[in-house]
Amino acid sequence: MPSKNNCLALLCCGFLAGCTAYRPYTETCPEELSRGWAELDLAEAVGVGGTLSLAKAVGLLSAAKAMQLADEHERCYELAKEARAAIKKSRG
Q: Count Cβ neighbours within 10 Å for each residue of 36-70 and write b for 16 or more, e otherwise.
A: bbebbeebebeeeebeebbebbeebbebbbebbee
Q: What is the pLDDT of residues 28-59, one digit of tens each?
A: 999 999 999 999 999 888 888 889 999 999 99
Q: What is the pLDDT of residue 45?
A: 82
pTM as predicted: 0.72
**41 against 18, higher pLDDT:** 41
Residue-range domain boundaries for the chain: 25-90
CB 48 within 8 A of CB 83: no
More confident residue, 13 or 36: 36
